[in-house]
């Protein structure tokens, strides 16, 4: 199995247990059987301070999930097998190999890839990945290969259609030409220039005159324009002011990030539903805000141009470029969602600084924003994924909005 990943990215689990809270943890039928045979329910706790032992089955079948289960979560949203010391009781009591593959896999996600091998993506929802802590992935290639093979054997993920935009097929060589062009554009020294160049290229590819072409002609067009725009003398590009509709759609995107953050921070119930409603109104400018969330505080706050922030933003986008073609969304959709995620991260960073009385968002603010926005990676199928693509807007708008966020 050919596997691509960024060898310079870093990761070492810091046992912060962020991934054990607020996530659904999927368990296969085989794993449930093994864990039941090992009487895993002994290590379950109904709340953080309850005695060990489950009051009901710790594994809940997913409706129409063909044997798939999830681990029952506590009222505060954390995994029932999480100890008070932030450790996994299955790992402690039964050994690392008995942990569900979903848990062993995190923060990595395997995207099957089309024509260019599978891609292993490290989720920025893990603070260690976002902070660049631990050994380089290039030095963990053997373990990562093993994990990817286990995942493939268990779940056999199938690549979806390779499309430039929904219903507009693209040849693998054209997808690779586009990726090569985007890599070169991201290599531009100045981030805003890089974003403007990407926006103009994606805008051109999204025009009707390119989309309406027959599949082979469209692929040819993508190859030709990608090599021209990434060439030694690329046409000058300037960021454009994002349109009103695109800015309105982005409010829906921002609300989704805030909603996931709220669900992670507070236990489900009526209080949470009320806070979500208030957040929805606030994100659309119809309510002054709630504790810790006042989007207006971002006004007048700029993002530092610190080299580490630039590297973090470029790294996030670079990873999205590499993962395009995995069939989750069209290439245009995948890139638009990634740009909107970074924009949401920067907006949260600016808000955090503003609430703190600062006029500049620092590296730590941006990291916190990126970690929160990366939680959207969970919403990668069904209606939620389609809504995110809609809220992200067209890819050129998403990159223009992101460039504007950096002002």
Stretch that binds ligand SF4, among 125-133, 143-151, 215-223, 246-254 (CB under 6 A): 125-133
Cα–Cα distance between 326 and 314 in angstroms, integer? 20
State yes or no: residue 264 binds ligand SF4 (CB under 6 A).
no
- How many C-beta atoms surround the C-beta of residue 374 within 10 A? 25
Could you give the 3-state DSSP secondary structure of residue 206?
A: coil
Site string for ligand SF4, 348-377 (x = CB under 6 A): ------------------------------
DSSP string, 63-132: TTSTT-EEEPBPTTSBBTTB-TTS-BHHHHHH-GGGS-HHHHHTTEEEE--SSS-EEEEE-TTSHHHHHT
Judge contact between 268 and 327, C-beta under 8 A.
no
Name residue 78's beta-bridge partners: 21
Report which of 370, 339, 335, 376 is spatially closest to residue 352, judged by C-alpha positions.
370
Identify the burial level of 83 via C-beta atoms within 10 angstroms of its C-beta, where 0-12 means exposed, 13-18 middle and 19 or more buried: middle
Nearer to ligand SF4, 12 or 248 (CB): 12
State which residue, 371 or 388, has the beta carbon closest to ligand SF4.
371
Give the nearest distance from C-beta 129 to ligand SF4 in angstroms. 7
Is 108 near ligand SF4 (CB under 6 A)?
no
Distance from first CA to last CA of the chain, Å, rounded? 43
Q: Does 128 bind ligand SF4 (CB under 6 A)?
A: yes
For residue 164, the 8-state DSSP code is: E
Q: Which two tokens stand for residue 307?
A: 């080299």
Letters for 9-28 (x = contact with ligand SF4 by CB under 6 A, - = none) are ----xxxxxxx---------
Q: Give the chain's length.
A: 407
* CA 80 – CA 46 distance, rounded (Å): 6
Q: Which of 123, 185, 230 is nearest to 399 (CA)?
A: 185
Task: Examine residue 126 and tell whether it contacts ligand SF4 (CB under 6 A).
Answer: yes
For the bound state, the minimum distance from the C-beta of residue 334 to ligand SF4, rounded and expressed in Å, comes to 23
**Minimum distance from CB of 264 to ligand SF4 (Å)?**
12
**Shortest spacing between CB 127 and ligand SF4, in angstroms:** 6
Judged by beta carbon, residue 295 or residue 345, the one nearer ligand SF4 is: 345
CB of 11 to ligand SF4, least distance (A): 8
Helix runs in 187-214, H state only: 191-205, 208-211
The residue among 116 and 128 lying less far from ligand SF4, judged by its C-beta, is 128
Determine if 78 is a binding residue for ligand SF4 (CB under 6 A). Answer: no
Q: Which is nearer to ligand SF4, 16 or 224 (CB)?
A: 16
Of 82 and 177, the one with the shorter C-beta distance to ligand SF4 is: 82
Closest contact distance (angstroms) between CB of 84 and ligand SF4 is: 15
- 331: tokens are 């290439």
Q: How far is the CB of 142 from ligand SF4 (least distance, A)?
A: 19
Question: Which is closer to ligand SF4, CB of 133 or CB of 220?
Answer: 133
Q: Which residues in 265-324 contact ligand SF4 (CB under 6 A)?
A: none
Dihedral-angle region of residue 180 (phi above 0 means left; psi in -120 to 50 means alpha; beta otherwise): alpha
Count of positions on this chain that bind ligand SF4 (CB under 6 A): 12
Q: Least CB distance from residue 88 to ligand SF4, whole Å?
A: 9
131 interacts with ligand SF4 by CB under 6 A: no
CB of 298 to ligand SF4, least distance (A): 26
Count the neighbouring beta carbons within 10 Å of the beta carbon of residue 15. 12
Choose between 17 and 29: whose C-beta lies nearer to ligand SF4.
17
Q: Which is nearer to ligand SF4, 25 or 293 (CB)?
A: 25
Minimum gap (Å) between residue 12 Cβ and ligand SF4 = 8
Distances (CA, A) of 52 to 100, 241, 267, 359: 19, 57, 21, 48
Smaller CB separation from ligand SF4, 134 or 234:
134
CA nearest to 257, candidates 347, 320, 324: 347
Does residue number 106 form part of the binding site for ligand SF4 (CB under 6 A)?
yes
- CA pair distance 201, 241, nearest whole angstrom: 16
With respect to ligand SF4, which residue has the nearer C-beta, 78 or 389?
A: 78
In the complex, the smallest distance separating the C-beta of residue 104 from ligand SF4, rounded to whole angstroms, is 10
SS3 of residue 152 by DSSP: helix
User: CA–CA separation, 253 vs 239, rounded Å?
Assistant: 21
What residues line the site for ligand SF4 (CB under 6 A)?
A: 13-19, 106-107, 126-128
């Amino acid at each position: 199995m050919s596997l691509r990943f960024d060898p310079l990215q870093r990761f070492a689990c810091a046992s912060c247990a962020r991934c054990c809270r607020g996530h659904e943890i999927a368990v296969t039928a085989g794993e449930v059987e093994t864990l039941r045979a090992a009487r895993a329910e002994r290590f379950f706790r109904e709340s953080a301070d309850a005695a060990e032992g489950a009051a009901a089955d710790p594994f809940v079948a997913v409706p129409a999930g063909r044997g798939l289960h999830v681990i029952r979560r506590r009222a505060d949203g954390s995994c029932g097998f999480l100890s008070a010391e932030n450790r996994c009781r299955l790992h402690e009591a039964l050994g690392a190999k008995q942990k569900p593959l979903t848990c062993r896999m995190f923060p990595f996600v395997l995207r099957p890839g089309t024509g260019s091998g599978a891609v292993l993506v490290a989720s920025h929802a893990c603070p260690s990945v976002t902070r660049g802590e631990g050994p380089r992935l290039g030095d963990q290639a053997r373990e990562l290969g093993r994990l990817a093979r286990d995942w493939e054997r268990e779940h056999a993920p199938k690549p979806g259609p390779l499309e430039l935009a929904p219903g507009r097929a693209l040849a693998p060589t054209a997808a690779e030409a586009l990726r090569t062009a985007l890599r070169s554009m991201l290599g531009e020294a100045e981030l805003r220039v890089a974003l403007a160049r990407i926006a103009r290229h994606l805008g051109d590819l999204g025009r009707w005159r390119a989309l309406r072409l027959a599949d082979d002609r469209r692929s040819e067009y993508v190859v030709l324009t990608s090599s021209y725009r990434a060439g030694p003398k690329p046409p000058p590009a300037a960021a454009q002011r994002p349109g009103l509709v695109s800015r309105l759609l982005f409010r829906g995107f921002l609300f989704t990030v805030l909603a996931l953050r709220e669900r992670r921070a507070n236990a489900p119930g009526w209080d949470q539903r009320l806070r979500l409603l208030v957040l929805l109104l606030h994100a659309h400018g119809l309510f002054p805000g709630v504790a810790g969330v006042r989007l207006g505080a971002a006004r007048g706050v700029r993002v530092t141009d610190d080299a580490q922030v630039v590297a973090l933003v470029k790294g996030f986008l670079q990873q999205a470029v590499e993962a395009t073609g995995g069939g989750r969304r069209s290439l245009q959709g995948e890139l638009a969602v990634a740009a909107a995620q970074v924009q949401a991260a920067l907006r949260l960073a600016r808000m955090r600084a503003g609430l703190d009385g600062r006029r500049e968002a620092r590296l730590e603010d941006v990291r916190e924003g990126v970690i929160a926005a990366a939680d959207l990676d969970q919403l990668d199928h069904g209606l939620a994924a389609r809504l995110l693509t809609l809220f992200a807007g067209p890819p050129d708008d998403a990159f223009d909005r992101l460039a504007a966020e950096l002002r």
